[in-house]
Chains A and B, each alone.
Chain A
Amino acid sequence: MPSFTTTVADLKLLGPVFEALVAVPEPVETALRSAGRPVPQPIRVSAMIDTGASQSVIQAGLADRLGLSPVGVASIHTASAADVPCALYDVRLALPSNVVAGLIAIETSLAGQSIQVLVGRDLLQQGVLVYVGYTGTFTFSI
């Protein structure tokens, strides 16, 4: 199982954060190449594993920058809002150590945060997360 391990300077303060790339999904890349159109460059993001998120989230605007069209709509409940409709986007997430995963991510605002992607339990259910607090490291295998 491919995996990556990251050490965070202050894991308690910052959470399990890591650098990743968000890219168009494979079918979109294939279609663009077949049509002789340029494939948008992957976007470097700060991501965080969030066990409180039942589904992964991408920052509003990322899908637009990748030229992606939505594939669905979901209603979300948060601590402060209910039944907010949000678009769903099919994306590819390249994690450290060449781990690549496909996601159907909810697009919403992560304004005020230093992260652009939340990796939720939809991706976690495919793998194993080991969080070692006293060493400031975590490992995600998928």
Chain B
Amino acid sequence: MAVSTERGVELLREELATYEAHRSELLGSARNRWVLIRGREILGTFESQRDAIDQGYRVVGLMPFLVRQVVEVEVPVNFASTLMAM
């Protein structure tokens, strides 16, 4: 039986909506930096993904949080591999 891969994305639904709602202002103030979001709250922007994640653990703990790079155009991750079952 296939295991759903949607649950993880669903857990970050609110954070993703928060990102989209603030994207324009983030592009103005924090372009290319990594933003940390929990719920509707922006908890800061950081130089690296790892810095943002580490801060997420410190501030949010073990609950879901979103770390995302603030960019004008989202570039998908490409897989030339044929091992992905989708």
Contacts and interface: CB of A to CB of B under 8 A. Distances in A.
Contacts of B16: 73
Contacts of A104: 49, 53
Interface residues of A, number: 49
Nearest to A74: B77
B43 interface: no
Most chain B CB neighbours (cut-off 10 Å) among A27, A28, A61, A72: A72
Interface of B: 2-5, 7-9, 11-12, 16, 49, 53-54, 56-57, 61-68, 74, 76-86
A72 B83 contact: no
Nearest to B49: A104
Contact of B54 (A27, A64, A89, A108): A27
A86 B5 contact: yes
Contact of B11 (A32, A69, A83, A118): A69
Contacts of B63: 69
Nearest to A61: B3
B8 A87 contact: yes
A86 B79 contact: no
Contact of A50 (B53, B76, B83, B85): B83
B61 A109 contact: no
8 contacts: A57-B84, A63-B8, A69-B64, A77-B76, A83-B76, A86-B5, A109-B3, A109-B85
A87 B11 contact: yes
A73 B12 contact: yes
Q: Which of B8, B9, B76 has the most CB of A within 10 A?
A: B8
Contacts of A79: 79-82, 84
Given A52-B81, A118-B81, A28 B57 contact: yes
A86 B9 contact: yes
A78 B5 CA distance: 15
B68 A54 contact: no
Interface string A95-114: 00000000010111111110
A90 B49 CA distance: 11
A107 B8 contact: yes
Nearest to B74: A75
